């Protein structure tokens, strides 16, 4: 199924634009998981089981899995198996390499694991992004303006009349033959989100930076009022909401309550902006 359609459907069904970031750091899991052979897989499963009706999907930053080597591969595989087919899965890999190397990355994440979408870094230009965009059945979120402090080092450099991130957007839209390109905008960049969505309301956005990164949800939702398709990612403030020595029930309650609360806040503000 076309990603845009799948995304629209699940947002509507679960009444949620929220994607939960499963950046599951073995060192930060509550103690109760450590008795398992693959603590991350169990941790993720419990989160998914208790949020799959109130989220649009899940985003895995593969850095957290790569450092677990073989156990990381197992954790990704199991995690994706736990996620209902109708929900979207985002591979936060931020890959960027040329032709054959990019083909390999596409093969890994789209074929071996079967993620629906991936984040890519545009620095190397078209032939580094094309192998991902060429997969019509998949979706590619290209880094535009990221939430971290270092975003201003290069992304906000002026290249003539525009900023670098705007050049990235313009070129990416030229490459967007299969209508499967979207962008990553940090939640702190509300002015730029308004500017982008005003011109490109139909292009899907991935918005990280809500929760642990403390960006203002009200301003964000206002900036997204014209955007027809977006997901907002929240990770640490949901998955690490319970105490380290919590029981399983306390963990489930904490994760579910955090998700409901954030989802409700998003939906209330969404309705207020219309």
Residues known to be catalytic = 94
Shortest separation between residue 82's beta carbon and a copy of itself, angstroms: 18
Beta bridge partners of residue 120, listed in sequence order: 95, 142
Shortest separation between residue 62's beta carbon and a copy of itself, angstroms: 9
Contacts of 152 (CB under 8 A, 6+ apart): none
Region 187-246 residues binding a copy of itself, contact defined as CB under 8 A? none
Token pair recorded at residue 224: 């997204």
Shortest separation between residue 228's beta carbon and a copy of itself, angstroms: 27
Per CB under 8 A, 81 contacts a copy of itself: no
Q: Which is nearer to a copy of itself, 108 or 179 (CB)?
A: 108
Q: Between 51 and 70, how does the x/- string for binding to a copy of itself read (CB under 8 A)?
A: ----------x-xx-xx-xx
Beta bridge partners of residue 204, listed in sequence order: none
Neighbours of 229 (CB within 10 A): 18
Q: Which is nearer to a copy of itself, 1 or 104 (CB)?
A: 104
Region 154-183 residues binding a copy of itself, contact defined as CB under 8 A? 154-155, 157-160, 164, 167-168, 171
User: Which residues of the shown chain bind a copy of itself in the complex (CB under 8 A)?
Assistant: 23, 25, 61, 63-64, 66-67, 69-70, 73, 92, 94-102, 104-105, 107-108, 112, 121-129, 143, 146, 148-155, 157-160, 164, 167-168, 171
């Amino acid at each position: 199924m076309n990603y845009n359609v799948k995304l629209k459907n699940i947002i509507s069904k679960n009444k949620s634009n929220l994607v939960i970031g499963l950046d599951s750091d073995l060192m930060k899991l509550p103690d109760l998981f450590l008795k398992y052979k693959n603590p991350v897989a169990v941790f993720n499963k419990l989160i998914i089981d208790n949020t799959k009706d109130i989220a649009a999907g899940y985003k895995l930053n593969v850095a957290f899995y790569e450092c677990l080597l073989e156990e990381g591969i197992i954790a990704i595989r199991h995690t994706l198996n736990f996620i209902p087919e109708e929900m979207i899965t985002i591979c936060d890999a931020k890959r960027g390499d040329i032709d054959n190397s990019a083909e390999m990355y596409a093969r890994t994440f789209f074929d071996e694991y079967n993620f629906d979408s991936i984040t890519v870094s545009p620095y190397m230009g078209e032939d580094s992004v094309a192998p991902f965009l060429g997969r019509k059945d998949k979706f590619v979120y290209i880094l535009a303006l990221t939430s971290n402090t270092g975003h201003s080092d290069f992304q906000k450099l002026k290249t003539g009349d525009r900023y670098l991130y705007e050049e990235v957007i313009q070129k990416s839209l030229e490459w967007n033959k299969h209508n499967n390109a979207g962008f990553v905008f940090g939640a702190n960049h509300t002015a730029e989100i308004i500017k982008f969505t005003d011109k490109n309301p139909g292009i899907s956005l991935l918005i990280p930076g809500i929760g642990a990164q403390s960006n203002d949800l009200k301003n964000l939702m206002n900036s997204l009022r014209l955007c027809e398709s977006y997901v907002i990612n929240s990770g640490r403030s949901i998955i690490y909401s319970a105490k380290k020595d919590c029981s399983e029930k306390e963990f489930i309650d904490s994760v579910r309550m955090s998700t409901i609360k954030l989802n409700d806040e998003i939906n209330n503000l969404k309705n207020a902006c219309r």
